[in-house]
Amino acid sequence: MTTAQPENGPLAGEPRMLIDGELQLTESGAMFGVEHPATEQQAGDATDATVADMERAIGAARRAFDRTEWSRDAGFRFHCLSQLHEALDRNKERLRRVLITEVGCPVSVTGSQIESPIDEVKHWAEHGRDFEHLVDTGVHDTQLGPARRKLHYEPVGVVGAITPWNVPFYLNIAETVPALMAGNTVVLKPAQLTPWSGSELGRIVAEETDIPAGVFNVVTANANEVGAALSADPRVDMITFTGSTATGRAILAAGAPTIKKTLLELGGKSAHIVLDDADFSASLPLAAMMACVMSGQSCILPSRILLPRKRYDEGLAILQASMENFPVGDPWVAGNMQGPQISETQRKKVLGLIQSGIASGARVVTGGGIPETLPVGYYVQPTLLADVDPDSQVAQEEIFGPVLTVTPYDTDDEAVAIANNTIYGLSGEVSSADVDRAFAVAERMRTGNVTINGKSHFGVNSPFGGTRQSGLGYRNGAQGYTEYLHIKTIGMPA
C-alpha cells in the first residue's frame, strides 16, 4: 500500500508493472528513469519490461478471456468497475501529483486529466450495465420462409491498448475501461515518457478491486519493440492506439497478417476558420488559450487560425495580446496555465518547426523561443506566426507546442479550401455571428469533429473520431462502446 507523502511537489509513481494479477519487476530488475520536465531532473524509475514480459501479459489476457466468466458476466464487470471508480476517486490526489510529475501539466488544468476520466469510469460501467447485448430485429421474409433474426453483441477478445504521453491518465482510462466493461481483457502499454499513469492504474486494480488476474495487465517499457510485439501478436484480437500517424501506419501493418481490428486516433492539424462577422474579442482569446494550455500538446488543437484579410491586423493584435499575457511557469503554482514541453526532444521539435516557418516566409509576431525567465525546464514561449504559407511545413505538420499559425483569406470558399489542405481530419472550429453560416462552413470541412463558437464537440456521450489520416473508428458515445464488440447475427425459426 502507499505510504504518507508530502502534499505537493514531484512524486514518483508505482515502479512495478501488472501481469496476471501480480505487481512485479522485469526478471533482470532493469529500470528506466522518468524525468520531471519542469526541473529536468529524474523523479524516479519504472520497470523496463522485455518482449518476453509482454508475451506473458498477452498470454494471461488470453487465458482470462477464454477460461473465465469475465466476458459473460456483465453484472460482475459492473461491480468491479464500480470498485475501480471509487478507488480512483480515493487516489485522485496521488494520481494528480504523479501526472504533473510525468507530464508537467499545470495543476490548474488537471481537472480534465484527473476528475473527468474518473467520472468516465462510472459512466462506462453504467453504460455497459444497461446495454442491450441481444437485440431481436423481428421476423424477416426469406426464400426459405420466415426467419427471426437476433443481433448478439459479443466482446472482441484480447484488446491491446497503446497510449501516448500528452494526456496519459485520461487515455489510459478511455482506451481500457470501455473495453473491459464490454467483456474484453486488456493489455495496456503506456508511453515511455509517462509509465506511471499506467502502472498506478495497475496498482489500484490489483490492490483495490476484484478484477480477476489476467483481465487487466500493464506493461511498462522503454523499448519500442515491446509495444510492437503487442501489435503483432496473433493472440491479440484488437489494438486501440492514440498517437502519431506514422506509428498508426506501423500498427496497421503489424496487424495486417491477422486482420486485427484496429481503433486509431492519430495526428491532427486542425483549422479555426474565423469568419468576417465573428466576435473577435470572444473567439480569439479563447483560441490563444487553447494553443497554450497543456503546452499545446493536444491532438485536437486548432493550431491554424484563418483570418479574413479585411480584419487581419485586428485579429493579429488580439491574438498577440492574449498570448503575451498567458500565464506560463511552474506547473505546481496555481494560476499558471502553461507548463513545459514534456521533454527536450519535444521542445527541439517545436523550436525547429518555428524556425522552418520563419524560413518559409512566416513572421514572428510574438514568442518564437525559450522564455528568459524560465531557464530550467523545457519551456517554449507562446508563439504567434503570421503570414504563414498554407503549404509550408509549419502549416502542414503537427507541432504539438504552444504555437499558432495565422493565414489570411478573402472568401469563405478559400477558407474552406485552406482548412482542407492537409492529410489530417481530426477536428476544426468555426466562429461567426451567424450560426447557420458557420454550420454551412462546418459541413464542408473534411474533419471528424467541429466546434462552432466555442461550443465543444468533445464529450463522453458523443462519438469522436478522425477522417483521412487522423484515424479509424470512434471513441466515446454509443459508437465508441460498440467498437469493442462484434455483432453476431443469428437466424432462427420464426
Catalytic residue set = 265
- Of 95, 4, 10, 6, the C-alpha closest to 332 is 10
For the sheet containing 261-265, what is the strand order? 22-24, 17-19, 216-218, 185-189, 158-162, 238-242, 261-265, 471-472
CA distance 329 to 406: 25
The residue to which cell 486482420 is assigned: 259
**Spatial contact of 268 and 398, defined as CB atoms under 8 Å apart:** yes
403-409 vs 304-308, strand pairing mode: parallel
DSSP track, 328-364: BS-TTSTT--B---S-HHHHHHHHHHHHHHHHTT-EE
The residue to which cell 503554482 is assigned: 333
CA distance 199 to 263: 23
Which residues touch 365 (CB under 8 Å, ≥6 apart)?
316, 319, 320, 384, 385, 386, 406
DSSP, res 113: T
Count Cβ neighbours within 10 Å for each residue of 177-194 and write b for 16 or more, e otherwise.
bbbbbbbbbbbbbbbbbb
Amino acid at 290: M
- Of 345, 339, 301, 170, the C-alpha closest to 242 is 170
Neighbour tally for 241: CB within 10 Å: 28
- By three-state DSSP, how is residue 11 classified? coil
The residue to which cell 510485439 is assigned: 229
Length of the chain: 494
Per the rule left: phi > 0, alpha: psi between -120 and 50, beta: everything else, 214 is left
CA distance 7 to 427: 37
